Structure 1
Amino acid sequence: LPMANTPAVMAAKRCSPLDGGNLNRAFPGDPTGTPTSRLAHFLETELFPRHDVVFDIHSGGTSMEHLPTALVERNADAERHRRGVELMRALGMPFGFVADNGQASPTSMGAARRAGAIGVSGEFGGGGTATVDSMTLTARALDRLMVELGVVAAPVLTSDAEPAKPTRLLSLSRHSQGIYSTRRGWFEPAVRLGDSVSAGQLAGWYHDLERLELAEEAIRFSESGIVLSRRLHTMCEAGDCLMQVAEPVEG
């Protein structure tokens, strides 16, 4: 499917303009509900059960720049979980997550699991953009997945057979791993996406362009890790996420 939630895609938004629904939080849905809820129900009960693997390609949203990252949700079935992690690693993405969202997870990965399929997902871009690098990364991931599953014998979307690099697993499980704005302001980052940072290290500065007599406010990380995402827009309102730091894990 080129797009699952077509009204949202056409509006260049995460949520549908028809009902405000976020499809990746709407599963298992409701056949008599709003348009987004009905779509979620159709995907989980009609489309996903007809497939062995569901590969859901995400693009980091429109406000954040995101490290290229693969994702699977933990499966109570040990063999299916092992295979899911195996497929995630086969994508050759630089980073990967194993999310513990529970059996009632409202995401597409939860829906795939309940439908009897193996779900694999990830972030393949950000800021509502397509770049040469993000498209190359996505094409290679698709090729590798199809080769791993035996759908094709050789890559069909990319001209080279560059070997997949090891995927480094990350964990994002605590509110303290994020930095959030508490008021209207303008954020200037001090670190780059993918940088390794330490607790207490300078993350950036917060400027108040409505009160120019005030000095900029230094913002610091509460936890150590790898800078996973950062806000693309300089202007922020209270509650906006400015940065997230993920913790490297073994496994």
Structure 2
Amino acid sequence: MHTGAFSDIDWDKDGKQVGFFSFPYSIDRSPYYQIKMPVCRIKNGDGPSLVLMAGNHGDEYEGELTLLKAIRLIEATDIRGALTILPAANTPAVMAAKRCSPFDGGNMNRSFPGNPYGGPTQRMAHYIEHEIFPRHEVVLDLHSGGTSMDHLICSLIERSGDGERFARGLELMKAMRLPYGMIADNGPDSPTSMAAALRAGCIALSGEFGGGATATKTTMAVTQRAVDNLLRAVGITDRPILHTDADRGPETIVLSTGGQSLFVYAEREGWFEPAVEIGDNVAAGDVAGWLHDLERPLEAPETLHFQEGGIVLSRRLHTHSQSGDSLLNLARFA
């Protein structure tokens, strides 16, 4: 297999370029096939540098649509420094409307630091971490719950051992002005894009902007406002471009992730009825929901309880569940 990657982007050139990062991957119907990852590079002299990335999971649309709008609207004269936009990072997954790649089953956000000699997802992850991220100061990877999950709208930062970088990241996370902001503790060896950005020397930011593999008027407005706020906070722009409403959003309430005790899992097949909504505050011992069995209509449902208190962060959208499915997840107040 050819392991090279091709790019028609000149990193040092001022102006606006739209092109592809191309990854050769021979398939049955096309021996010389290339996976074409779209990219927009906008540069105007020296200054701050930022990666805006979406489509890490293919069925998360708020970020993908927001970054397409950014590519159309932002010109070099609107910025100072450099902006690299990846609207469909895991392009095969995006085109298949799936969380993971149809070529190799690869979940890009579990594939970093990647492998230049691996399958397509591993090779694209390697290119992003080693060729794209190190050229920038800040990375924002936009996510949502995707097909199977609803998620509290929030920004996200990974805790870093570099105190100065973590403090600046926390400042930028709050500047995005989402209702909530989460501090994650996945560690420097995590296979996620945020850990990859930290390993590349960047400030790593992310966010969850909705769920259900759809985009709504509300989630699109929130996403566009958050990106505008970050562009201004980093110093790349002086004015909103994507979302021109004067309201910059609420003050951010900071949360933290935790261990497995914050999850509620199905331990057998069943049909889940939740007792809570996204954003609800719950206490340890509260009822999380009920797992019904449609094959045994006279059998009482299993009542599920929270092990800890917190705020409801995510909820499984598919009612029919298998053993091992995460039904609900909490975050703690920091």
Tell me the TM-score normalized by structure 2. Answer: 0.72
What CA deviation, in whole Å up to 9, does each residue of 1:178-233 have, x standing for no partner? 11111111111111111111111122121100011212222221111111111111
Q: What secondary structure is seen at the aligned counterpart in 2 of 1:72? A: strand
Match status 1:234 vs 2:316: no
Aligned residue identity for 2:132 = L
Aligned residue identity for 2:91 = T
Partner of 1:3: 88
What CA deviation, in whole Å up to 9, does each residue of 1:38-90 have, x standing for no partner? 10111011111111111100012321100001111122221111111111110
Distance in 2 (alpha carbons) for counterparts of 1:87 and 1:172: 19
Partner of 1:225: 310
Asked whether the 8 Å contact 2:183–2:257 carries over to 1, the reply is no
Partner of 1:130: 215
What CA deviation, in whole Å up to 9, does each residue of 1:95-143 have, x standing for no partner? 1112222222211111111112211101111111111111011000001
Match status 1:215 vs 2:300: yes
Distance in 1 (alpha carbons) for counterparts of 2:189 and 2:296: 47
What CA deviation, in whole Å up to 9, does each residue of 1:148-202 have, x standing for no partner? 1121111111121213322112122121111111111111111111111111112
Partner of 1:144: 229
Q: What secondary structure is seen at the aligned counterpart in 2 of 1:169? A: strand
Match status 1:174 vs 2:256: no
Asked whether the 8 Å contact 2:264–2:329 carries over to 1, the reply is yes
Match status 1:112 vs 2:197: yes
Partner of 1:31: 116
Partner of 1:53: 138
Distance in 2 (alpha carbons) for counterparts of 1:82 and 1:188: 40
Distance in 2 (alpha carbons) for counterparts of 1:52 and 1:175: 33
Partner of 2:246: 161
Partner of 1:72: 157
Asked whether the 8 Å contact 2:185–2:257 carries over to 1, the reply is no
Q: What secondary structure is seen at the aligned counterpart in 1 of 2:318? A: coil
Shift of 1:34: 1.0
Asked whether the 8 Å contact 2:270–2:321 carries over to 1, the reply is yes
Which of the numbers 105, 129, 137 marks the counterpart of 1:20? 105
Aligned residue identity for 2:321 = C
Distance in 2 (alpha carbons) for counterparts of 1:2 and 1:163: 23
Asked whether the 8 Å contact 1:88–1:120 carries over to 2, the reply is yes
Asked whether the 8 Å contact 1:56–1:122 carries over to 2, the reply is yes
Unaligned runs of 5+ in 1: none
Distance in 1 (alpha carbons) for counterparts of 2:272 and 2:252: 31
Moved more, 81-90 or 7-16: 7-16
Shift of 1:20: 1.2
Tell me the TM-score normalized by structure 1. Answer: 0.96
Question: Superposition RMSD on alpha carbons, in Å?
Answer: 1.2
Distance in 1 (alpha carbons) for counterparts of 2:257 and 2:166: 19
Q: Structure 1 residue runs of 4+, over 6 Å off?
A: none
Aligned residue identity for 2:257 = L
Partner of 1:198: 283
Distance in 2 (alpha carbons) for counterparts of 1:187 and 1:208: 9
Distance in 2 (alpha carbons) for counterparts of 1:205 and 1:103: 37
Distance in 2 (alpha carbons) for counterparts of 1:228 and 1:21: 25
Which of the numbers 145, 149, 171 marks the counterpart of 1:86? 171
Q: What secondary structure is seen at the aligned counterpart in 2 of 1:37? A: helix
Moved more, 94-103 or 81-90: 94-103
Which has the higher Rg, Structure 1 or Structure 2? 2
Aligned residue identity for 1:70 = S
Aligned residue identity for 2:314 = S
